[in-house]
Structures are given as C-alpha cells and as structure tokens.
Structure 1
C-alpha cells in the first residue's frame, strides 16, 4: 500500500514531469551531432512516454487520485507544460515531410533528401504521441471530477492553441494525428459532461460561435476519421441531454435549430448521415465493396449513424421537426433559369428520412405496448415565439407537403407529352425526382401519425401541452382532418400523378413497349379487357414519361384511407384508458362524436373534389405501386361508410364503352375521370 502511494506521488510530481519534458525537448535540439541526437531523443522520449502513460492509467483506475491531482496543483502544472510543449510540437509539425506530390517534384529538382525524411517523420509521430498522452491525462482527470472540470474550464486558454491546430484542415486530415484528435474530442466531452456551469461557458465558445476559428465541434465533426466524428457527436449529445438543467437544454436546442452556426453544424451531421447510409448500403448489397469497407469500419459507421440519429431524436422530442425542415430549405438563388432554382435541399431530404424513421419507431412502440409513455419534452418558453412548434412541432409537415405537392403537380402537368409527341422529346423538370422522394417521406411520416391515432380525433384545448405520442398523434390527425387545403391537395396530387404516370399492368405483353405488331392483336371472341389489361392498353396509347413516381399513388391512397378510418366505440386501441384517458363514459362518447363529425367532413370534401372516382381508378394492379388496389379498396370502404350521398354517386355509375366492340364481345367498364 505504501509503495502504491509512493508511486502515485512520484507520478503526480510536477518537478519530475517538467524534467522529463525538458530532457525530451533538448534532445531534439540541432546543436548535437545527428546520430547522437536520434539516440538521445528516443531515450528521452521513452522515459517521458512511460511516465505519462503510467499517470494516465493511474487516473483512469483510481478516482481519488483525480481529486488529489487538482488539490496538489499538479493538474495546473500539466496544463501549463502542455501549453509550453505546443511551440515544440509546431516545430516538429513544420519539419515533417511534405506530401508525396511535393517530394516527387523535389526529387526531379535534385533537392530531395531521403536520409532525413524518416527521421523527421518519426520525430513528428513521437511528438504526436506525447501530446496525445497529455490530453488523455487531462481527459481521465476530469472523469467524474467536477473540480478538475472547473479548473480546466477556467484555464481553457492553455489548451485552446492545441485544439485550434488540430482542427486545421491539414492536421485534421493527417493520419499521424488521428489518435491525437480523438483524445482531444474525448477530453472536451469529459470537460462538459454533467457540469452545467462548464457547459454554459463552453457552449457559446466552441459550438454556437460566429468565429470560424472557434468552431471546434463543427470541425471535429468533419474529420475523415470515423472515431473522431463519433466522439464529437457524443460531445454534442452531452450538451443537449442534461439532467440538471432541462431549460438550458431547451435553449441549446433552440439555438442549434435557429442560429446560423447551429444550422451549419446540423447540415454537417446530415451530410455525414447521408454518406454513411450510402456506404453501408453499398457494402451490404455489393459484396465486392467489402475490400474497401472492412466489417470493423462498417460497424463504426453504423455506430456513428446511431449517434446522429440520437441528436436529431432529441430535437424531434423537443418539438423542432417542422422548424428544422423550414430552416434547412434551400436559399433563394439568382438564376436565369427557373429549373435551376432548388425546391428541396439534400439536407431537408436526409432530415425527412431521419424523421420518418423516428416516427415509425414511436408508432411501433405504441402499437406493441398498451402504455403510451411520455415522448415529447416541450418547453413553454418558446410557445409564443415559434408557430412551427404547434402539434409538438409536427403540424408544419402538412404545410411542407402542400408546398411540394403544388410544385409537383405543376411540373407534371407541363411534362405530359401532348399532341402525340414522344415523352423523351418533352422537357421534364429534373427537380421532380427529389420532390418525389420528399413527398413519399412526408406521406409516410403522416401515415405513422395517423396509424398511432388509430382513427381517433382529439379536440385539444389551448394551453394543454401533450407529451405522449398517442395524444399528439390524435391531435395531429384532428388537424389533418380539419384542413380542407390538405385534403384537397391529396386528391389533386392523386389525379395529376395518375395522368402523368398511368398504372403499369404486370400482365402487359412484353412487346408492348417495343411497338411490335402483336401489341395490337385483337382480343379473342367472347373476351374483354380486365381492369389491369385496360390500364396497360391505355398506357400504351398515351405517351407518358419514363419516370413513374413509384409508390406515390399508393401512399396518397393510404393517407386518404387513414383520414376516413372510423374506430368503433368499444375498441379504440389495446388500452382504451391509456389512449383516450376518459374520466367518464360521456367524455369517450364526445370524442367519438367529434371523430365521426370530422370523418364525415373529409368524406364530403373528397367527394366534392372528385376524389371518389380517383380512388376508384386506383383499384388496379400497378407495378409502380405495389398493393395499391388493396389500399384503394380499404379507402373506398371508409369513404362510403355512413355517407348516403357518396354511396348514391357510386351507385349511379353506369357501364360505358369507349370504342366499338365485336358483336359477341362485351365491353369494358371504364370509370369517368371527374
């Protein structure tokens, strides 16, 4: 025991550390012969490395030594010696070999000195290792030690030059400094973890700052090293997830979603997320890529993606979904061509992917469990400021859908081939592809909300802050049902998409698209085109663009069906009490009456806009929209339920023939497009 205490006292001795550091730095001085310098440098480096390594391990094992390190003043000495070591580190960094391209040019010029290249590189690597051990000591000293955190926070200027150097482009992309960068980010993470006072100081200094030099977190997030990125992501999570000061966490989320520095950081995260999705997807589906993406690297990428998802999940839980979608919109650009002005940014698209995943997961949790636990952590501080936080920040998704839908309908209308011209000759708006993906993600997100509500509308009163996902879902379903603009846009987009990309029958002849003579072969006597055959026949006669808006019509029909789906009075969900929380049976009856009133309203709106006929036209097989017919039948069942006017309209439909038929062959039954 006494021996252990003596060892700890020796390791934390400031004098011995300074002596070892002085010996190491002096051994690299150019005054001595070269061979002797290398030998002395390696010996001095080994002694210093061993001392720093043992001290780092001691602090990692023994929490009491961390407090002793602060009380004795040794931690202050370590910070000061690290600051004094920085000029030496910079000199080693400047003396390291230049990139290969420069070396090859020097070799052609006769200026390349091969004998010193390895020595300079080795000296720089040793300097990196010493700096790494210094940062690990500081990191370990602050683990669960608030005194050390406060001390480092007050003396942060001593380590700031090192951090600034590490976040420069060349150092950040230097493989020799990768471990050093990781240790630096881990040190920052331990500095602010569970310490509200230090967090309040460091947040505006290294995260939300207008000075590019101080944007340390942003720069570490852009590191090519996945482990460094992950450490920076954990650092950001520790800033946003604080148990001691919930209101401070809300303020940070607000600044992250509204300030220029915060949005720049979030865009970096979204760009990294999209890159990881592409890399992991290609590695999964293409075995040949395994040579370039080792399994360990893929696991690191997936872990990093999980951290990014956690960051955005925290923002979603605090009601910033719609605000983020709006703030990440592409900037207005001065362009001579309308088609060059972006409608949906790549950051918005990636954000919608994360939001769709989060909503689907929350919907699954409610479906699999009778309990509807608290999900949203909403602060009242910004309720009067942010209109985008309505409906726990999800109500604005309807406005985004309407905006994208109107653009898509206009672009599709101008892209339909006219007067028998070839679809390839008709100019198509290239922005439609991104907008199509955005519409799909929005529809799937809204569908997750509707499915969680299970058909129930909730007339939420002002001033009531719902924090359960089921409650928020029912309130949002009520808003969707109450928005005539939203319902009208669903119907209009379904109609326009059907005109732009008619159903593609799986039973069409293989030579229909080639224009072979057999494609016009008449039907056998006594046979008629089925609905799928007629769809293929019509799509063959009307020139349409090759881009088919896959799955869009199906998802529109699914959302329409969810708007008119009527729950029963007895069975709302697995647990009526937890979902509706009625105090009496009268409140449950009132909720049911409100739900039925809203459903009838949606039924009438859809009928008045001709939506019944559009949904009827979806009762065909379509390769571009799997299971669309089944979803259309489901939607029709509830569009007609309890609505005599809609039922009479469908009942009044009569068979019609669009072309003469053989005497013995019955005609088809096409439905009018209204």
Structure 2
C-alpha cells in the first residue's frame, strides 16, 4: 500500500481533522489482522515490516507525536472534553502499538519520539484524566504501546528503563502509571515493568541499588498490598495486575535478589515495614509453590531470613514485656506446664486488667506478622531438605538450618517470647464455655467466651488479634526445627526452661491451629537422644487436667505450690 498520501498529510496539516483519526484506526486494524487490497493480501507481520520500511514514516510519526504533545499542553483539555486531540492520541497510540508488535526494528524506531511520548504519558496520568472513561482509554492504550515497544528488545528496554531511573519522582512515568486508578492501565503497566526487567540482572538490581529504583519497587509492593485482600490464592492470582506483578516478583527472587530487595525497603529504627511484609508474603507464596529447592544455591539466597527472624523475635520479646502489666510476675523458667493459665487464675484476671497495661506498642502487630511470615519461609526451605533426607537422598543439611542452629541467642529469645505470649494471648476455644473467676464465685450462668475476662488483647478485636494468629504455632515449629538432631541446642533449650514452655503449648488454641501437634513434634525432637531432657519430663507430675469444657481442674490429692 502506498503510504505517501498519509506522509504528505502529516507534514502539511494540523492534527485537527477526522480524516487522520479514521486513517489511523483503519491502519491499526490492518497492522493487527493483515491488509487486503483487491486481490492482494498481506499478513499482519509482513505488513508491519512494509509500513516500518516506508521511507519517512518514522520522521512523520515523530512529528505527529510532537504536535500531539504541544496541542495537549497548549489547550489543556477540560474534563469530559471531546476535542479531536483526544481521539487522535488514541488512534496514534493504537497505530504504533500494533506497528511495533514483535518487530525489533520498528520498536527501536518508535523510541525516536520517546521525549514526546513521555510528555503525552505524563499528561494522561494526571488525576484529572482519570475522571472520564475516554481519557482512561487513552492512558491504557499508551501504556500498552509502551509495553509493546520494550517487549523482547533489550535495547529499547534499556533506553526506556534508564529514562525512568534517571527521572525525578514527580516526572517518573512508571510510578504515575502504577498509581493510576484504572485496572486496565495497572495491568498494562505490570506487563511493561515485567518486560523491561526480564532477562536483565542489571536492570533488576537497580530496583534495590538506586533511589528511583527503590521508589518504583515500593510502589509495586504498595499496589500488591492493596490487591492481597482480593486474591485468596496467590498461586492462582489470575491475569490481572496482581498476577503480572507476582510474576515479576518471582523473577526477581529467581535472580537471587531477595536479600538486596528486602534490605532496600528497610527503614532505620523500624523493626518491620509494610513493604517488607508485602514482600515476605510474595516470598512465602513463591516458596510454597515450589515442590523442592532445585539446588543448594537457592537456599543460600535466603540466609538473610535468619538475622531477620532473630531481630524480629528480639524486638517482639522486649515489646511484649513492656506491654504486659508492671506487676505481672516474670514467667518462670521452671514453671509447671500444668500451672494455671490466665484463663483460670483469678489473680491473673486482676493482673491483666487493661487499666494496668503499659502503653501499647503500635509496631507490635506488624512485627508479629513478619515473625509468622519469616518463620514459614524458613520452615519451608528447611523441610524440603529434611524430607529429601528421609527419602534417602544424599543431601547435605540445608545452610538455612545450620545457620539457625548456630544463632546463640535465638533459641533463648524464642522461648522467652513464647512465655510472654502465653500471658498476653491466652489460648481461646471458640464456642466453648469458659467461665471466668468472677462468674464462678457469683454462681451466674456461664456464657460462651472467646477469651479470658479483661484479657490484654480482646480476641474479638479482629484488626488487632489477626496479626497475632499463628505466632505461637510457628515459633514452636522453629523450636522443633532447631532441636532436630542437635544436642547442643537441646541442652540450651533445657537450660532456659524451654521444655516446660513447650509442654504449656500442648493444648488446643483456635488462634493457633495445630499448635498442640507441632508442640508435640518439638517436644519429641527436644527429647530424642537427650537423657537429661527426658529426665526433666519424667520428674513432672500433673497437678490438674483439662475437662471436656476446656476448664483446668485439680487432680484429687495433688498439692499446688
């Protein structure tokens, strides 16, 4: 097809005029589906080559982009405007999107107009342009065009990415697109980011090593966080922005960038940040989706989780200790595993009164969420190797496990935190009648309860307690992992009173599903091959037993101390 009339039109006419819009729309269809003139038929791929090789086409398109940018900023189209530049921009973006698809030479030529394209993108990512469907459609098309320009082309990806990394935040197109309130635009932006990062360790590493890269990474995590609630299954997140962004995160993890990325979003003097929690959720889902670690280097990539869990547990230990009432006795390292819990001890009811609590630590819920996520990641990494060993595979113990075992303070911090959590978060049994001491002495009918009277954290406060779900269960799982076939750690566990702490967790707790079973596994690992630990358990005599209603009853003839 002879495109010369089109080129003459672009060079001699203003962009106002419906003939230009119509031409762009017709050509966009031909570039996508193939072109037919009379008996001549050209498939789409060959037609894209033909149009791209037409002399002067790229100079004309660059000139048109410049005119579009100048017109948009000069006229400052009002919201809801039906001015022709809007239709021309949409048609031009669709035309270029189809022209560059799968054609590296056309992709490179299209970026000759990068400066003007960026100006147009900046204009259409303003908040005012998100208020009408017509403007949102243009933004979507511009984003799809940009994604096609960089797809499978390292040169255009590098050029576009470098412009993003070197720009100011207010001028950064990726950040503006990621926060644009339109699902179609966000999905196209996710594809744009994925295509630019794919196959390039250097560009991917800049997400952690450059200021603007970190801002882009944080923005992606923030958008992912807003999507978590709408996606029940991370492994089947679909084809929307969530699925595309999750694929990008998996690619970054596969490039051994987890430690760098996790550290880059840390904030000084903050034990955990919302972005770190979002990244840990993605990392946990990534690890859970893998049936086994492919090689040893994969596990080495995640050694940063060991100092992370150590720091989180240490902070949580100090925070919970400050939150608990000042007059609460420190949990004894030798307390009987059947001693009364706050659910049944009337004295503890007074100690747990909210009026006596210290100022709550607002950081604690996020820290607890991080503790659970990091614990689950470590457990997944380690269990692959343990399972492989039990099947007879000749595998050296995972470095994550060996490093965790060598952490001199970690086991003591975990045990101390578990004891403190037993005071802060007494076990709960949904639907079970748990009469309080006041109810028993007043001979009033028992009422269903979700927790002890005046508990420091009311289990009915979902927003607060959800962050504490699974904490005790996963911490005791870590204890079981660390004591597995390691007498030195088993001895340290006994020295800090950990055996009694584990025994206290051999109960049902709706906030910690299967905690009892995991506590029994941990106890088995702590006792295996350790006669001293076995003697500690053998010396214990129960002072009470739980009845069918979940109430601790004294055993006749037993004497409490």
Q: What range is the shorter-chain TM-score in? A: 0.7 to 0.9
Q: Distance between the aligned counterparts of 2:542 and 2:118, measured in 1?
A: 80
The question of 1:96 aligning with 2:58 is answered no
User: Which of the numbers 52, 63, 70 marks the counterpart of 2:45?
Assistant: 63
Which one is further off, 220-229 or 257-266?
A: 257-266
Shift of 1:231: 0.8
Shift of 1:229: 0.9
What is the CA deviation profile of residues 381-405 of structure 1, one whole-angstrom value per residue up to 9, with x for unaligned ones? xxxxxxxxxx543111121212121
Shift of 1:197: 2.0
1:417-428, aligned counterparts within 5 Å? Answer: 417-419=325-327, 420-425=350-355, 426=357, 427-428=359-360
What is the CA deviation profile of residues 95-145 of structure 1, one whole-angstrom value per residue up to 9, with x for unaligned ones? 5358xxxxxxxxxxxxxxxxxxxxxx222xx42121111112112121122
Q: Distance between the aligned counterparts of 1:402 and 1:411, measured in 2?
A: 14
TM-score normalized by structure 1? 0.67
Q: Which has the higher helix share?
A: 1
In structure 2, the residue matched to 1:53 is 25
In structure 2, the residue matched to 1:627 is 514
Larger radius of gyration: 1
Query: Residue 424 of structure 2 contacts residue 455 of structure 2 at CA under 8 Å; is this kept in 1?
Result: no
TM-score normalized by structure 2? 0.80
Structure 2: runs of 5 or more not aligned: 35-43, 328-349, 460-464, 546-553
In structure 2, the residue matched to 1:432 is 364
Shift of 1:655: 4.8
What is the CA deviation profile of residues 136-187 of structure 1, one whole-angstrom value per residue up to 9, with x for unaligned ones? 2112121122221222233423433322322334335553311211121122
Distance 1:51 1:633, change over 3 A: same
In structure 1, the residue matched to 2:556 is 666
Q: Distance between the aligned counterparts of 1:472 and 1:216, measured in 2?
A: 47
Q: Distance between the aligned counterparts of 1:179 and 1:473, measured in 2?
A: 54
Query: Residue 487 of structure 1 contacts residue 606 of structure 1 at CA under 8 Å; is this kept in 2?
Result: yes
User: Which of the numbers 153, 157, 160 marks the counterpart of 1:202?
Assistant: 160
Which one is further off, 261-270 or 322-331?
A: 322-331
Shift of 1:275: 1.3
Q: Distance between the aligned counterparts of 1:217 and 1:192, measured in 2?
A: 14
Shift of 1:12: 7.4
In structure 2, the residue matched to 1:160 is 118
Distance 1:257 1:657, change over 3 A: same
What is the CA deviation profile of residues 303-356 of structure 1, one whole-angstrom value per residue up to 9, with x for unaligned ones? 211111112112212222233232212355xxxxxxxxx542211221111111
In structure 2, the residue matched to 1:231 is 188
1:162-561, aligned counterparts within 5 Å? Answer: 162-172=120-130, 174-206=132-164, 208-212=165-169, 214-242=171-199, 249-279=200-230, 303-331=240-268, 342-362=270-290, 365-366=291-292, 373=294, 391-419=299-327, 420-425=350-355, 426=357, 427-454=359-386, 474-504=398-428, 509-512=433-436, 515-517=439-441, 544-546=456-458, 549-561=468-480
SS in 2 for 1:454: helix
Aligned length: 502
Shift of 1:66: 2.1
Shift of 1:484: 2.5
Query: Residue 490 of structure 2 contacts residue 526 of structure 2 at CA under 8 Å; is this kept in 1?
Result: yes
Shift of 1:612: 1.2
Distance 1:510 1:421, change over 3 A: closer
What is the CA deviation profile of residues 552-603 of structure 1, one whole-angstrom value per residue up to 9, with x for unaligned ones? 11111122223344xxxxxxxxxxxxxxxxxxxxxxxxxxxxxx4xx23332
Query: Residue 93 of structure 2 contacts residue 145 of structure 2 at CA under 8 Å; is this kept in 1?
Result: yes
Query: Residue 484 of structure 1 contacts residue 605 of structure 1 at CA under 8 Å; is this kept in 2?
Result: no
Query: Residue 353 of structure 2 contacts residue 454 of structure 2 at CA under 8 Å; is this kept in 1?
Result: no
Query: Residue 318 of structure 1 contacts residue 392 of structure 1 at CA under 8 Å; is this kept in 2?
Result: no
